[in-house]
DNA sequence: CAATGATATCAATTTATGTTTATATATTAT
DNA sequence: ATAATATATAAACATAAATTGATATCATTG
């Protein structure tokens, strides 16, 4: 029962739906999400941990970065998330997408990508 | 967005899932639910109101009784609730069902049913 | 119309969740 | 090693949600 409840608790927060919406686009590291949502990093970690605890996300450690992506191993969660994503209004995530795009382009332009030397840092935060 | 969040908030509480499970069996009045869950009545009203606010329940006033039933007017909510009900473990609701059955039988046996005179009361609480 | 019963609402309290600032941990670069 | 960076965790605080006991409301009965 608790497991089921955790799924819904995870889905009943706006920040977390925004994160899921971003991850629809593909795997992202914490600093990508932080930049896209324009909120402080511990807040992002907090919500990522809730989503992961509910079995909605998987993470992958690569060097100093942790990459998160949707966990599609469970059919129920997958269909649930899918149907929810469809219902998140576009205007609630448009700004996030825009900031993400800008941030990603910045990374590419300056060579600040995963695996790059630390002086060419990822976040600058 | 808020509307969507309300649905998940409504579903992220054990008492409320138990109520939904009871209402799968059909329409019930507040005192039925109170008896079945074996909790105090204001608590039941509180959760019913949350479920109703999320568009998951409808109510129908008949005399002094308020009857609640699943609201199946919206397809998304309907499928969501349906798929959730399936995942609520049986042992989490078995006792509720049992108490409900006993309570209903008590009502029938003593003529304490909806529409009956007040001396043959519904709840005895 | 007084009394009773079913339900809703309120105020007070407790508990749970989310937010923030500061700091710890771990990894990589110099 | 030392410094820098990405992320996680902890502690303190703020906010929201749930629980309870008391009471209001409203329909029904006597």
| The model's pTM | 0.89
**Is B4–A17 a contact, with Cβ atoms under 8 angstroms apart?**
yes
Does residue A9 reach within 7 angstroms of strand C, measured from its CB?
A: yes
DSSP code string of A55-101: TSEEEEEETTEEEEEE--S-HHHHHHHHHHHTTS-GGGTHHHHHHHH
- B87–A4 CB contact, under 8 Å: yes
Q: Is the pLDDT of residue A122 over 80?
A: no
B115 touches strand C (CB under 7 A): no
Nearest nucleotide, CA B121 to C1': C5
pLDDT in tens, B19-75: 999 999 999 999 999 999 999 999 999 999 999 999 999 999 999 999 999 999 999
Average pLDDT of chain A to the nearest whole number = 90
Instruction: List chain C nucleotides near protein: any atom < 7 Å from a Cβ.
Output: 4-10, 17-22, 26-30
pLDDT of residue A10: 98
- Decide: A13 and B4 in contact? Cβ < 8 Å: no
Averaged over B67-90, what is the pLDDT? 98
What is the pLDDT, as a whole number, of residue B107?
Answer: 77
Model confidence at A37: pLDDT above 60: yes
The predicted structure's pLDDT at residue B110: 63
Q: Which residues of A touch B12 (CB under 8 A)?
A: 5, 8-9, 11-12
Q: Is A119 left (phi over 0), alpha (psi -120 to 50) or beta?
A: alpha
Average pLDDT of the residues in B2-30? 98
- Please answer whether residues A48 and A19 qualify as being in contact, where contact means their C-beta atoms are separated by less than 8 angstroms: yes
Q: Where are the alpha helices (DSSP H) in chain B?
A: 2-11, 14-23, 30-37, 41-53, 75-85, 94-110
Q: Strand A57-62's sheet: what is its strand order?
A: A28-29, A65-70, A57-62
How far apart (Å, rounded) are the C-alpha atoms in residues B100 and A92? 43
Distance CA A51, CA A19 (A): 9
pLDDT tens per residue, range A50-97: 999 999 999 999 999 999 999 999 999 999 999 999 999 999 999 999
pLDDT confidence bin for A100, thresholds 50/70/90:
very high
- Please check the confidence at residue A40 and state whether its pLDDT lies above 80: yes
At A4, phi and psi to the nearest 5? Answer: -65, -45
């Amino acid at each position: 029962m608790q497991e089921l409840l955790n799924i819904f608790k995870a889905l009943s927060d706006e920040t977390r739906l925004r994160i899921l919406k971003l991850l629809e686009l593909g795997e992202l590291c914490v600093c990508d999400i932080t930049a896209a949502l324009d909120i402080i990093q511990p807040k992002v970690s907090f919500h990522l941990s809730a989503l992961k605890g509910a079995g909605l996300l998987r993470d992958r450690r690569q060097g100093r970065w942790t990459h998160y992506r949707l966990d599609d191993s469970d059919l129920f969660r997958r269909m649930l998330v899918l149907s929810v994503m469809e219902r998140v209004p576009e205007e609630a995530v448009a700004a996030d997408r825009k900031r993400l795009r800008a941030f990603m382009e910045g990374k590419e332009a300056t060579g600040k990508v995963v695996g790059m030397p630390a002086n060419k840092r990822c976040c600058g935060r």
